[in-house]
Amino acid sequence: MTQPTPTASGLSRHQRKTLFLSSLGGALEFYDFVVFVFFATTMGALFFPADMPAWLRQAQTFGIFAAGYLARPLGGVLMAHFGDLAGRKRMFMFSILLMAVPTLLIGLLPTYAQIGIAAPILLLVLRILQGAAIGGEAPGAWVFVSEHVAPHHRNLACGSLSLGLLGGILLGSLVAQAVNAVFDETQLMAWGWRLPFLLGGVFGLLAMVLRRQLHETPVFTELRARQALAAELPLKTILRDHRGAVLRGMLLTWLLTAAVVVTILMMPTILQGMGIARHTALAGNTLAVLAAMAANLIAGALADRFGAGRVLALWSGLLGLTFWVFFHAAQAGAYSHALYALAGSAVGLTAMVPAIALSGFPAQVRFSGLSFSYNLAYAIAGGLTPVLLSLAMKGTPNAPALYIAGMAVLGVALGLWVQTTQGRAAKTT
């Protein structure tokens, strides 16, 4: 059999195609998951009683959005279980379907004015299904791309996939801005709000078509050929034999959520609270996301060359320093797009996080191990961070900068610990 010819990057043409299609599919699926938040105010007005207090309507709308995060662990564990036993590609395809159909149905839902209390209930059910889908998508995609390349290209592979997930957030923001620019308030409330969700359903089906071109990972194919798949419930093995790897994966995920949730998702709202115009904050956020996408590839390539632990420590320090400077400049009335983009580039640490986390689990239970640790930590940290940080800012306005500084210290410590343990392992082999 003819072996694929490696390119100058060290990846074969087939591997590069796999990374591209996986990243594109991840972007389209992540768009489906996050587009809801960009229309939260509109959804609240349409799916709850008109006489409900605005604060309560907003709280319940964000509660439905948060339900997607709470559903992630269950969906992730179930899909990972079958991913370890039946194949990575099957679950990779199923997660797309489970995301696309609910997104399409949200775009077709009748509103509260049409069917009453059933409207928010149906919206909640569909949001839970979306959460279950994304719970399997992110860890499944990282495992999928990492098993299609050699171990010394694992960080670059995970970085390319993380680039795609960030691209989905950017796409959601751009679509929301376009819809709000094209339609007036009456048109948006009447039918314009449906377009982003219908488009998301089409995106999901397109992602399914793209992923049909992908092949099962060589690692899983070999395990199946040798009849070396997990002999018992994968999660049972994880909790019994790999608790240390689970803890490391959860701490790494905590670091990842801090970087993404605070720097990318929360900052536009925080900046507006400082008196910065909405269009300025959103424009800066776009630049920060673009910088984070590029940095994922750069950090991933550097990690493969110099060691994931070293580069994670470096990028974590960069996160703490750049965010501190950017945030305090904005507080002082000296907001800068350049500083926001620089802080966004530090989110490139998301390239190393999944690569390091999945390396702690053997191939037979790798999907389950990464999915359990990642989704459990994301449900806790991702769900609580916006609420707790918002409350903390009432008494401590620079709470976001302090929080990110603390997370940077954690990231440096994790990076140095990983580099030390990997160095010891290399000396004993």
Q: What is the pLDDT of residues 292-328, one digit of tens each?
A: 999 999 999 999 999 999 999 999 999 999 999 999 9
pTM of the shown model: 0.82
Rounded Cα distance between 201 and 188, Å, is 19
**pLDDT tens digits for 252-274?**
999 999 999 889 888 887 888 88
53 Cβ neighbours under 8 A, 6+ residues apart? none
pLDDT of residue 392: 85
pLDDT of residue 303: 94
Homologous superfamily of 10-229 = MFS general substrate transporter like domains (1.20.1250.20)
**pLDDT tens digits for 319-367?**
999 999 999 999 999 999 999 999 999 999 999 999 999 888 887 888 8
pLDDT of residue 422: 67
pLDDT of residue 247: 94
**Minimum mean pLDDT among 24-38, 58-72, 394-408: which range?**
58-72
List the one residue out of 191, 408, 187 whose CA is nearest residue 318: 408
pLDDT of residue 425: 45
**pLDDT tens digits for 373-427?**
988 888 888 777 877 887 888 888 899 999 999 999 999 999 999 988 865 544 4
Dihedrals phi, psi of 228, to nearest 5 degrees:
-115, 25
For the segment(s) 232-424, the CATH number from 1.25.40.10, 1.20.1250.20, 1.20.1050.140, 1.10.3760.10 is 1.20.1250.20
CB atoms within 10 A of CB 275: 9
Q: What is the mean pLDDT of residues 227-254?
A: 81
List the one residue out of 422, 152, 420 whose CA is nearest residue 301: 152
CB atoms within 10 A of CB 236: 12
Q: What percent of the chain has pLDDT over 70?
A: 91
Alpha helix (H) residue ranges in 183-307: 185-187, 194-211, 218-225, 234-241, 243-257, 267-273, 278-306
pLDDT of residue 6: 42
Domain ranges of the chain: 10-229, 232-424
User: Mean pLDDT for the chain?
Assistant: 83
Q: What is the mean pLDDT of residues 84-113?
A: 82
